[in-house]
Structure 1
């Protein structure tokens, strides 16, 4: 049975509540955009300074534009108590573009539940690898899932330099 044939996957987490994993819906766009902004501005403070975080996420993305970006990929969302708590995307070639969790849910199993759904889906459609350009925070998470760093790189956003990591995991 494919992951899309199941209404959602349920998994308890360390907070004692259930995380439900399902496919992105258009009505999730506003909450997903806010999670992105909060994850950058609150969740990434250990790794990026204020100027870097502001360059990365100038403002909360427009929900229509964010909806279109998430619909252009396979997007899994995690909910808990009917609230969106995270999401992760997967392109047809195995690229993970976006992986964000609400800052108050970092380290509670949300990212792991999302990742398991993404990796399962990638294997189902025959991807030979998963890869991403990961932030410092995502790098730690992906390394725990068996990923390798291919290279560290510096990118520029709005004239500000940010470090991220090209990473991959071979599948199969």
Structure 2
């Protein structure tokens, strides 16, 4: 039986190439059923902008999921409990990785005094968050590069 152990560790500044790749693949491959090509391009770009990801990851707090030492997912969280980014490689979807990352972020948020967690979830992410006890606060449409994307403001109260 292959080793499928998943390790969760803190996000590090030098994770930016992996984070950029996971994000890019999750958008361009993992959301095809929900967003058209123009929407995916507006959301994730045509290529992975490593300079942008380097600067962005350096300013974030979060967690990375690794399988056999390779990053396969990540989540970011701030002290208010806001989840800005939560993505896994499409090839590892529905394997519990997202739930493990969400659990690590919830534990961190609780430990840092957050009373709730919030996010803006995509059409694809909404069912995942609902499965983990989140609820929709508001549906919204945002424009990225002039292209409309539907998403959902979501919230989950934390146990204090």
Q: Same fold, TM exceeding 0.5?
A: yes
* 1:121 counterpart residue number: 108
- Shift in Å, 1:22: 0.4
CA RMSD of aligned residues (A): 1.3
Instruction: State how far apart, in whole Å, the 1-side matches of 2:100 and 2:3 are.
Output: 14
Aligned partners of 1:128 and 1:171 also within 8 Å: yes
Kindly tell me the number of residue pairs found equivalent between the two proteins. 158
Instruction: State how far apart, in whole Å, the 1-side matches of 2:63 and 2:113 are.
Output: 18
> CA 1:60–1:32 in 2, change beyond 3 Å: closer, same or farther?
farther
Report 1:9-158 matches (<5 A): 17-158=4-145
Any stretches of 5+ residues in structure 2 without a counterpart?
none
SS at match of 2:80: coil
Deviations 1:57-84 (A, max 9, x none): 1134422321322232211000001111
Any stretches of 5+ residues in structure 1 without a counterpart?
1-14
Aligned partners of 2:121 and 2:151 also within 8 Å: yes
SS at match of 1:20: strand
Structure 1 stretches of 4+ with a deviation exceeding 4 A read none
TM-score (ref. length: structure 1): 0.87
* 1:3 counterpart residue number: none
TM-score (ref. length: structure 2): 0.94
